[in-house]
Amino acid sequence: MNESDVRRLLQDALDVVAPGAEVGTVPSDVDLRRALDLDSLDFLNLIVEIDNRMGIHTAEVDYPRLTTVATAAAYLPERARA
Amino acid sequence: MSEGNGSTDFCMPALGADMEKGTLLEWYVKPGDPVHRGQVIADVDTEKSAIEVEVWTDGIVDEICVPEGAEVPVGTVLARLRPAVPSAVAPAAPAAPAKVPPQAAPRVQPKVQPPARPRVQPPTRPAVPGAMSAAPRVRSSPLVRRRAAQAGIDLAAIPGTGPGGAVVSADLERALAGTHPQSAHQQAHQPAPEPVPEPAAERTPRPRARRSPTADGMRESIARLMTRSKREIPHYYLSTTIDVGPALAWLRERNAGLEVTERLLPVALLLKATALAASEYPDMNGHYVDGRHHPAPTVRLGVPVALRSGGLVTPIVDAAEQLSVFDLNRRLRDVATRARQGALRASDLAEPTLSVTNLGDQGVEAVFGVIYPPQVALVGFGAVSERPWAHDGLLGVRPLVTATLAADHRVSDGHRGGLFLTAVAERLAHPEEL
């Protein structure tokens, strides 16, 4: 799972929880919540959607690891293997 | 709704204090169809958004008085309903046999919900007989359906990627971009989002292409209501800083053992604390009508939800002081999600008695609100952030939130407002009791 896979996953999930938010416009190290105007509810729904698609249960303490494309690209493959 | 000689009028509802007229977008029933309390029977377009409107009596549709596409004032009779004949004698009822196909009955879902809480989980929309005969109904929000209709696109031809194959806005956008020759032209007039924002710009501009056709109407509607508020209501403003360390620690502990979908959001605690305090201070909770304050028996919170397309809608959390924080959290997620999908129902917008605005996610420290008439107060919460805080003679770093109150001086004074805001803070200090 490389960064472009992660971007595709995030985009697919965002299409459901926040239609109109385009991950492609956000640099890897920029907070998605700020760049795409996601509030805490959108972000929670994003985590739920990633869970639905990947079966990755993200604990609350790990929420920060899904805030940018770069951190998600490190976190998701790690969890997908686990 | 009014009644006369046994029939009931189904009228254009007022979906918010500022609504004067609405457009009937779509009927889901036709004459002769039986309807049940809580059933969505029409979509209505307000200046703010498309709303699904429920009927609140059982009966049979007698007459559709307003055609799809017509704009009419609030209170206009949209349809007439007549009482349903008792089911035992239904097959023999001679009154209007042509209009009452007995086989229509199985389509209606019989009382699928406990009548005590119709607002929380309205029944799913029954299949529409008229639509069934042509093609299976395409799942999508009213907003998407309307935009597709405006663009002259058949929703059935668009592959849906939403829940259960629903056609979501993104699908429609893709379809517009791909198949509609005008779309490229239209988009050329709108500033397309930069592929990559300037490094200095923290915030990407909202993609303008998502701006809904109702955005201007919504702005007008907000302007009208807020102007009325500032003209009529002598506001006073108070502010206090609350240490939410105990509340957040309790929340983390509770969330650790919960599925993602059940996890509490901090805002649920803020709303519950506010609702409990408001039930103790009736001069903050109710409506100012005809020159005096009418305190409300329960706390129906209005929670403004910002829309991606611009503007906001204010769905309600009814009887918030009586809900557990978990139920409140669930209800909040439900209405906020549906508000953004353009899938709110009329009952989601019933007059709130107190509004709570939470701009915490935008990172601002405090929000001094404008009261929604005819309400008499508005509570605002800014971002929770770690700041220096003196406690027990020591300086430490604590998560703090600034709570503000805008209240109506015709109803209360700063002293009462101060007590109320302090009560909110005290509730948050004991999260286990929320």
pLDDT reading at B117 higher than 90: no
Taking residues B155-175, report their average pLDDT: 66
Give yes or no: residues B98 and B54 share one domain. Answer: yes
Q: What's the pLDDT tens digit per position in A15-42? A: 888 888 899 989 999 999 989 888 888 8
Give the count of Cβ contacts less than 8 A between chain A and B: 83
CA distances, B60 to each of B30, B197, B353 (Å) = 9, 56, 33
Closest alpha carbon to B416 in B278, B272, B233, B286 = B278
Residues of chain B contacting A33 with CB distance shorter than 8 Å: 361
- Per-residue pLDDT, averaged over B244-265, amounts to 91
d(CA B138, CA B351): 32
Report the alpha-carbon distance of residue B144 to residue B168 in Å, rounded.
Answer: 7
Q: CA-CA distance, B183 to B14, in Å (whole number)?
A: 35
Average pLDDT over every residue of B362-380: 92
Query: How large is the average pLDDT for residues B161-184?
Result: 58
Write out chain A residues lying below 8 Å of B176, CB-based: none
B147 with B113, same domain: the answer is no
Q: How many Cβ atoms are within 10 Å of B224's Cβ, its own excluded?
A: 14
CB B37 within 8 A of CB B55: yes
Contact call for residues B139 and B165 (beta carbons, < 8 A):
yes
Mapped onto helix, strand or coil, the DSSP state of residue B2 is coil
In a domain? residue B362 = yes
Specify the CATH number for the domain of residue A35. Answer: 1.10.1200.10
Shared domain check, B298 and B343? yes
- Report yes or no: A68 at the B interface, CB cutoff 8 Å: no
State whether B392 and B361 are in the same domain. yes
Q: Are residues B429 and B289 in the same domain?
A: yes
| B211 to B143, B202, B215: CA distances (angstroms) | 12, 21, 7
Which residues is B401 bridged to in the sheet? B242
Number of residues that make up chain A: 82
Task: Mean pLDDT check: name the lowest of B73-77, B157-161, B418-422.
Answer: B157-161
Query: What CATH number does the domain containing B90 carry?
Result: 2.40.50.100
Q: How would DSSP label each residue in B183-233? A: HHHHHHTS-PPPSS--TT-SSPPPPGGG--TTHHHHHHHHHHHHHHHHHH-
Interface test with A, best of B211, B260, B358 (most A CBs within 10 A): B260
Task: Classify residue B423: in a domain, yes or no.
Answer: yes
Task: For strands B50-54 and B40-45, give the pairing.
Answer: antiparallel
What average pLDDT does the structure give for chain B? 77
Residue B382 inside a domain? The answer is yes
- pLDDT higher for A53 or B123? A53
Q: Are residues B154 and B278 in the same domain?
A: no
B69 and B159 share one domain: no
Q: What is the pLDDT of residue B49?
A: 72
What's the CA angle centered on B107, arms B102 and B112, to 5 degrees? 120
User: pLDDT grade, residue B124 (50/70/90)?
Assistant: very low
Residue reference for tokens 């229509």: B104
Read off the DSSP letter of residue B274.
H
Same domain for B151 and B275? Answer: no
**Total count of domains within chain B:** 3
In a domain, B210, yes or no: no
Residue B404 has pLDDT above 80, yes or no: yes
Q: How far is CA B265 from CA B117, B305, B396, B399, in A?
A: 23, 15, 25, 15
DSSP secondary structure string, B103-157? GGGGGSPP--S-TT-TTTSPPPPPPPHHHHHHSPPPPB-HHHHHHHHHHT--GGG
Q: For position B144, what pLDDT does the model report?
A: 65
Domain count for chain A, please give it. 1
Which chain A residues are within 8 Å of B210, Cβ to Cβ? 19-20
Interface test with A, best of B161, B330, B361, B381 (most A CBs within 10 A): B361
Dihedral Cα B419, B425, B429, B433, nearest 10 deg: 70
Q: Is A20 in CB contact (< 8 Å) with chain B?
A: yes
φ and ψ at residue B323, rounded to 5 degrees:
-80, 145
Across B408-419, average pLDDT: 97
Q: Please tell me the predicted confidence (pLDDT) of residue B208.
A: 32
Q: What percent of chain B has pLDDT over 70?
A: 68
Residue from B5, B70, B17, B101 nearest B289 by CA = B17
**Whole-prediction pTM:** 0.68
Query: In angstroms, rounded to a whole number, what is the distance separating the alpha carbons of residues B26 and B142?
Result: 9
* Residues B242 and B326 placed together within one structural domain of the fold: yes
Say how many C-beta atoms besides its own lie within 10 A of residue B136's C-beta: 9
Q: What is the mean pLDDT of residues B86-115?
A: 40
Neighbour count for residue B181 (Cβ, 10 Å) = 6
Note the pLDDT tens digit of each residue in B75-86: 889 999 988 765
Q: Which of B408, B411, B385 lies closest to B398, judged by CA?
A: B385
d(CA B98, CA B230): 55
From B191, B210, B228, give the residue that closes a domain. B191
B276-296 mean pLDDT: 96
- The least confident of A57-66, B42-51, B59-68, B385-394 is B42-51
Q: Examine the domain organization and report whether B13 and B119 are in the same domain.
A: yes
Residue of A12, A34, A41 with shortest CB distance to B203? A34
Provide the pLDDT confidence category of residue B168 given band limits of 50, 70 and 90: low
Can you give the pLDDT at residue B361? 72
Residues in B closer than 8 angstroms to A19, CB to CB, are 168-170, 210, 308
| Range from B12-26, B134-148, B235-249 carrying the lowest mean pLDDT | B134-148
Residue A56 belongs to what domain range?
Answer: 3-81
Judge if B61 and B118 occupy the same domain. Answer: yes
Q: What is the C-alpha separation between B433 and B133, in angstroms, rounded?
A: 54
Residue B149 has a pLDDT of 64
Lowest mean pLDDT among B132-141, B179-188, B242-251: B179-188
Domain that holds residue B51: 3-134
Contact (CB, 8 A) for B122 and B345: yes
* ipTM metric: 0.81
Instruction: Encode pLDDT of B35-85 as tens digits.
Output: 988 888 988 887 767 788 888 888 899 999 998 888 888 888 999 998 876
CATH code of the domain containing B164? 4.10.320.10
In a shared domain, residues B429 and B335: yes
Q: Does A41 touch chain B (CB under 8 A)?
A: yes
pLDDT for res B402: 96
The pairing of beta strand B50-54 with beta strand B344-345 = parallel
Q: What is the pLDDT of residue B350?
A: 87
Contact B272, B328 (CB under 8 A): yes
Q: Residue range B415-433: average pLDDT?
A: 96
Q: Give Cα separations from B133 to B7, B67, B107, B129 (angstroms).
A: 29, 20, 13, 7
Nearest to A41 among B163, B195, B333 (CB): B333
Closest to B51 measured CA to CA, from B32, B30, B78: B78
Query: A58 to chain B, minimum CA–CA distance in Å?
Result: 8
C-alpha B144/C-alpha B309 separation (Å) is 13
Rounded-to-integer distance, Cα A72 and Cα B283, Å:
48
Residue B206 falls inside a structural domain: no
B89 pLDDT above the threshold of 50? no
Q: Which amino acid appears at position B6 of this protein?
A: G
* B133 has a pLDDT exceeding 50: no
